[in-house]
Amino acid sequence: MSKNDLERTQDVRLGLLLWFRIARFYNQSNRLSNQHVKQWGLTIAQFDLLVQVGAHQSLSQQELAEKLLVSKGNITQMLRKMEKIGLVKRKQEWRTKLISLTTQGEKLFEEVVPKQELFQASQFQTLDKEEQKQLLSLLKKLDLKKE
């Protein structure tokens, strides 16, 4: 094996190790977040929906699907469940269904979002402030969609 082949193999291994570490952290973070929001009777997907609707107050089903990176069909099922438990409402305006929070949804949004934000941020407390900034910078550099 040539020196270049060996270096390429080592680069591939390093890249795979990085990918596995990021994937592992992401999966652990999602599992912990699911456990955390469960105390409010939510899944992490429902929490994400609550955040998007609460942050935008009124948005179409299509806009919501795009923000959550899911299909319109998946959104429909989630919205039905969220409507059933009284957190969101849909209102037809001409050809568009607009989604907004109910009063109960707004109260839950105000209660759960700050607590979940603190919980998420706490997952990085093993890094000091400078390391957190460095990690953010490196992750931005890796962003595939290039903001």
Domains of the chain by range and CATH? 3-142 (1.10.10.10)
Query: Residue 29 corresponds to which tokens in the numbers above?
Result: 């973070």
Please list, in sequence order, all residues whose beta carbon lies within 8 angstroms of the beta carbon of residue 111, skipping any fewer than 6 positions away: 40
What pTM does this model have? 0.77
Give the integer Cα–Cα distance in Å for 50 and 40: 12
Q: What confidence tens digit (pLDDT) does each residue in 59-84 have?
A: 888 888 888 877 767 788 889 999 99
Q: What confidence tens digit (pLDDT) does each residue in 25-71 have?
A: 999 999 999 999 999 999 988 999 999 999 988 888 888 888 887 77
Question: How would you label 125-146 residue by residue, b for 16+ Cβ within 10 Å and e otherwise?
Answer: eeeeeeeeeeeeeeeeeeeeee
Q: In angstroms, how far apart are the furthest CA atoms of the chain? A: 67
